[in-house]
Amino acid sequence: MGERGRLERLGVEECMRLVSVGGVGRVGFALADGPVVLPVNYVIHEGAVVFRTSFGGAMDDDLRTGAPGVEYKVAFEVDEVDPVGRTGWSVLLRGPVHHVDAEERERLGVPDVESWAGGERELFVRITPQEVTGRRIRRG
């Protein structure tokens, strides 16, 4: 058997440092017919997660409450795993999701995010973390 790993909890600053490089993360939320987790390309802007999606898609109407000032809370997860070395880390951010209109995007200086999926992805979404947790597994 191989050497066992050691699990350690990460502080908020370390979690945000790890996710700050951007890349690919997963958004988890509940739909009427059950939970869903979808991958997105993201950037961190002023401490919030920003990504693009399509109007009319799962993260458009399904993540709108219809009540002014009331936003859905979602989970956002990013990780990096080395299966050969049996090491890695995982960060989970939870908080409200906000659809950013063009005026707000310009006013706040929200950066562009390249979506690997292509197609019309003109809806910008921001997740403001209210809860940040993370773990790292190291060898021995």
pLDDT value at residue 2: 56
61 neighbors 68 (Cβ within 8 angstroms)? no
Question: From first to last of its 140 residues, what are the pLDDT tens digits of the chain?
Answer: 456 778 999 999 999 999 999 999 999 999 888 999 999 989 998 899 998 888 787 787 777 777 777 788 999 999 999 988 889 999 999 999 988 877 877 776 766 667 666 666 678 889 999 999 999 998 86
Residue 117: predicted pLDDT: 67
Domain boundaries, the chain: 9-139
pTM: 0.86
CATH fold for the domain made of 9-139: Pnp Oxidase; Chain A (2.30.110)
**What pLDDT score does 80 carry?**
95
* Residues in contact with 4: Cβ distance below 8 Å, sequence separation at least 6, in sequence order: 140
Q: What share of the chain is helix, strand, coil (3-state, %, to 5)?
A: 15, 50, 35
* pLDDT at residue 37, rounded to an integer: 95
